[in-house]
């Protein structure tokens, strides 16, 4: 073991050095661009003849589907190493082998998905070059350096990932484990950098920077990368990817749970599913805030894009989005409630579930109530117009913000009940602690309601938008405060009985499937909207899309394309699950090979 140390040390140092050099060259390279800058051409003015027709394929749909499939897989393979790394650290600290095994199993699922990500990325690249050569050429001139380093980083990503995965059992114990963890960290650093670079290209198309009104590149690549919407997208995608990755591995655990042949396997995959759901919920809770920030920034960048996004042509897709987000919350809560069956002490808390459900469903109904109601003529006449005096005010953002904060707080409450279900507190101030928690929740909810109603409906718009920040802070204070207090109340707590892992109904596993499917569809629809708000522009206000497919498709058509892509993706994911299972199957009869 000692002999291997220098080798692993050098390997790690070498890879880390490679990464640092790569990043260094990349960022210093941008500074050199002023020297390199030659005469840049303005954005080309295209005609329909500039878009090749190949084999009768609909160019937009081809690029759309490849981009979407690539993005789903990319989100998954970028997210899994993040929580695999965290789980591995937990395993190392607690010296509980189950965590290490689970982390390994998660990365095993991701490794097949990784090659699919690369294949689909290649397909996207080819389809862009073939169907939209002028657009790709224009972007490639501006982002030449970042595209080049992107390709190099992909090598680094592959190298680190393969060593991380195939070296899992080799790099165990003592210093070797530290080396492995360093590889995990490096993998995440490279993966996140890749995402940030790709985000820059797409946000440039929405909020171009570093170019003049005619699209002439100034030569400052950093300005083009650091455009107005880059960071809002970066934050939103980073958080959403973790939630998405959690939901997909949750679906994997559910799949394995339902097909498990033994009690031990059911217990293992139940535990794995619980952890995956936990990861998904942890990332899901801040996600609406990240999304709100992104939408607010889009609105701030362009009122036109903002209104198109949420009030205009895409508004009805936002209602579907609201429904799917609500579905995520309901599924995650249902899974937690079903999971309380693992504990013999849960009966103390299950009586509260119906009240949590009432609040969640009530908040959910507010969350998806549309501002523009679909009315029959008779209803229109009965109301005296399209405005509904009660439901109308629920259709705008202050009501939505209030509803989602309440949903988040009650999801956290479900989680707290789940954690408490199997424990009995031993501290003598338990009643005072509980009373304080009740007070915290009550005060928090009153504050959120007050901010939503008063600032939402009785003040200037700028305060309406600003009120969302104290609402979020209230939610954060309630959740962090109560969970922190809970950890003190239940310090040295007695367990009612050992948890019965595996004692959970099969339908709870379908809640995990629903979580993954809802996330996938949601990402597809929202991705389409994000891209669609550019409308007839390749690069907003700079490079017009003059292809025959430049029109904004009908909502039904767009939803169908996204749904078909989601079905293809799900089929590929099932393949990934199956292949991960096949690799551990041994079906060869004894005596086949010569002794």
Member of 360, 425, 512, 542 binding other proteins (CB under 8 A) = 360
Residue 536, token pair as written in the block: 């007839």
Of 77 and 517, CB closest to other proteins: 517
Residue 571, token pair as written in the block: 């089929």
Q: Kindly identify the residues of this chain, within the stretch 327-346, that bind other proteins according to CB under 8 A.
A: 330, 333-334, 337-338, 340-341
CA distance 319 to 76: 25
Is 326 a residue that touches other proteins (CB under 8 A)? yes
Torsion angle of C-alpha atoms 271, 275, 277, 278, degrees rounded to 10:
140
Residue 275, token pair as written in the block: 């952890």
The piece of 167-175, 189-197, 236-244, 355-363 that touches other proteins (CB under 8 A) is: 355-363
Q: Kindly identify the residues of this chain, within the stretch 528-567, that bind other proteins according to CB under 8 A.
A: 535, 541, 552, 555
Q: DSSP characters for 120-187?
A: HHHHHHHHHHHH-HHHHHHHHHHTHHHHHHHHHHHHHHHHHHHHHHHTTTTS-SHHHHHHHHHHHHHH
Residue 217: beta bridge partners?
211
* 504: region left, alpha or beta (phi > 0 left; psi from -120 to 50 alpha): beta
Is 392 a residue that touches other proteins (CB under 8 A)? yes
Member of 364, 417, 418, 441 binding other proteins (CB under 8 A) = 364
The piece of 118-126, 175-183, 424-432, 456-464 that touches other proteins (CB under 8 A) is: 456-464
Member of 376, 428, 431, 585 binding other proteins (CB under 8 A) = 376
CA distance 304 to 312: 9
Is 98 a residue that touches other proteins (CB under 8 A)? no
Closest CB 431 distance from other proteins, rounded Å: 28
Give the helix, strand, coil percentages of the chain, each rounded to 5. 75, 0, 25
Which residue bears the tokens 């009690």? Answer: 263
Helix axes 174-206, 59-94, angle to 10 degrees: 150
Is 454 a residue that touches other proteins (CB under 8 A)? no
Member of 166, 505, 557, 578 binding other proteins (CB under 8 A) = 505
Closest CB 113 distance from other proteins, rounded Å: 30
Is 435 a residue that touches other proteins (CB under 8 A)? no
The piece of 95-103, 124-132, 199-207, 322-330 that touches other proteins (CB under 8 A) is: 322-330
Closest CB 571 distance from other proteins, rounded Å: 26
Is 497 a residue that touches other proteins (CB under 8 A)? no
Q: Kindly identify the residues of this chain, within the stretch 190-219, that bind other proteins according to CB under 8 A.
A: none
Of 166 and 457, CB closest to other proteins: 457
Is 107 a residue that touches other proteins (CB under 8 A)? no
Query: How many amino acids of this chain bind other proteins (CB under 8 A)?
Result: 71
Closest CB 558 distance from other proteins, rounded Å: 13
Is 378 a residue that touches other proteins (CB under 8 A)? yes
Which residue bears the tokens 């991705």? Answer: 527
Is 258 a residue that touches other proteins (CB under 8 A)? no
Q: What residues have CB less than 8 Å from 335, skipping those under 6 apart?
A: 273, 277, 508, 511, 512, 515
Closest CB 436 distance from other proteins, rounded Å: 28
Of 126 and 463, CB closest to other proteins: 463
Q: What residues have CB less than 8 Å from 42, skipping those under 6 apart?
A: 214, 215, 216
Q: Kindly identify the residues of this chain, within the stretch 462-481, that bind other proteins according to CB under 8 A.
A: 462-463, 466
Query: What is the SS3 string spanning 249-272?
Result: HHHHHHHHHHHCCCHHHHHHHHHH
- Check: CB of residue 105 under 8 Å from CB of residue 88: no
Closest CB 450 distance from other proteins, rounded Å: 17
CA distance 269 to 257: 5
Is 452 a residue that touches other proteins (CB under 8 A)? no
Of 135 and 533, CB closest to other proteins: 533
Q: How far, CA to CA in Å, does 342 sit from each of 498, 501, 502?
A: 9, 6, 7
Member of 49, 151, 390, 590 binding other proteins (CB under 8 A) = 390
DSSP secondary-structure letter at 375?
-
Query: What is the SS3 string spanning 72-103?
Result: HHHHHHHHHHHHHHHHHHHHHHHCCHHHHHHH
Of 16 and 316, CB closest to other proteins: 316
Member of 98, 134, 388, 500 binding other proteins (CB under 8 A) = 388
Member of 132, 149, 368, 417 binding other proteins (CB under 8 A) = 368
- Check: CB of residue 180 under 8 Å from CB of residue 172: yes
Is 316 a residue that touches other proteins (CB under 8 A)? yes
The piece of 201-209, 286-294, 300-308, 469-477 that touches other proteins (CB under 8 A) is: 300-308
Is 263 a residue that touches other proteins (CB under 8 A)? no
């Amino acid at each position: 073991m000692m002999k291997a140390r220098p080798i692993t040390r050098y390997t790690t140092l070498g890879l880390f050095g490679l990464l640092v050099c790569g990043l260094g060259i990349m960022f210093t390279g941008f500074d050199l661009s002023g020297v390199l800058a030659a005469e840049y051409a303005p954005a080309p003015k295209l005609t329909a003849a500039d878009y090749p027709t190949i084999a009768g394929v609909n160019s937009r749909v081809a690029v759309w589907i490849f981009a979407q499939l690539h993005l789903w897989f990319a989100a998954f393979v970028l997210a899994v190493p993040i929580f695999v790394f965290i789980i591995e650290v937990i395993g190392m600290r607690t010296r509980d082998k189950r965590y290490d095994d689970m982390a390994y199993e998660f990365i095993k699922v991701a490794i097949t998905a990784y090659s699919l990500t690369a294949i689909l990325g290649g397909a996207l690249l080819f389809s862009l070059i073939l169907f939209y050569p002028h657009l790709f050429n224009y972007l490639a001139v501006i982002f030449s350096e970042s595209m080049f380093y992107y390709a190099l980083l992909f090598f680094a990503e592959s190298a680190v990932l393969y060593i991380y995965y195939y070296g899992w059992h080799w790099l165990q114990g003592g210093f070797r484990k530290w080396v492995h963890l360093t590889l995990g960290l490096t993998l995440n650093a490279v993966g996140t950098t890749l995402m940030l670079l790709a985000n820059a290209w797409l946000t440039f198309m929405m909020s171009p920077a570093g170019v003049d009104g005619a699209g002439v590149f100034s030569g400052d690549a950093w300005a083009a990368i650091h455009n107005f919407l880059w960071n809002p997208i970066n934050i939103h995608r980073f958080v959403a990817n973790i939630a998405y990755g959690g939901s997909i591995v949750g679906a994997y655990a559910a799949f394995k749970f339902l097909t498990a042949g033994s009690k031990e396997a059911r217990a293992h995959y139940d535990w794995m599913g619980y952890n995956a759901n936990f990861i998904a919920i942890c990332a899901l809770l801040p996600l609406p805030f990240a999304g709100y920030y992104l939408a607010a920034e889009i609105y701030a960048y362009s009122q036109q894009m903002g209104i198109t996004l949420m009030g205009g042509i895409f508004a009805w897709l936002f209602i579907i989005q609201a429904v799917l987000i609500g579905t995520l919350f309901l599924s995650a809560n249902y899974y937690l409630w079903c999971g309380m069956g693992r504990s013999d002490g849960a009966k103390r808390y299950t009586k509260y579930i119906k009240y949590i459900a009432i609040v969640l469903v009530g908040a959910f109904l507010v969350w998806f109530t549309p501002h523009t109601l679909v009315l029959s003529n008779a209803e229109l006449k009965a109301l005296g117009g399209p405005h509904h005096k009660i439901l109308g005010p629920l259709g705008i953002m202050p009501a939505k913000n209030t509803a989602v904060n309440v949903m988040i707080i009650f999801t956290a409450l479900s989680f707290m009940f789940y954690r408490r279900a199997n424990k009995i507190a031993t501290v003598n101030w338990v009643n005072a602690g509980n009373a304080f928690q009740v007070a915290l929740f009550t005060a928090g909810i009153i504050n959120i309601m007050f901010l939503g109603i008063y600032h939402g409906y009785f003040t200037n718009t700028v305060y309406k938008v600003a009120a969302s920040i104290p609402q979020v802070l209230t939610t954060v204070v309630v959740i962090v405060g109560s969970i922190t207090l809970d950890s003190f109340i239940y310090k040295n707590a007695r367990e009612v009985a050992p948890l019965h892992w595996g004692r959970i109904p099969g339908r709870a596993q379908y809640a995990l499937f629903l979580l993954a499917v809802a996330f996938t569809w949601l990402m597809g629809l929202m991705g389409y909207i994000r891209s669609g708000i550019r409308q007839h522009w390749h690069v907003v206000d700079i490079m017009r899309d003059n292809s025959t497919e430049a029109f904004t498709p009908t909502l039904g058509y767009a939803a169908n394309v996204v749904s078909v892509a989601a079905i293809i993706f799900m089929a590929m994911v099932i393949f990934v699950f199956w292949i991960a299972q096949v690799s551990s199957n041994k079906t060869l009869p004894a005596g086949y090979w010569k002794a």
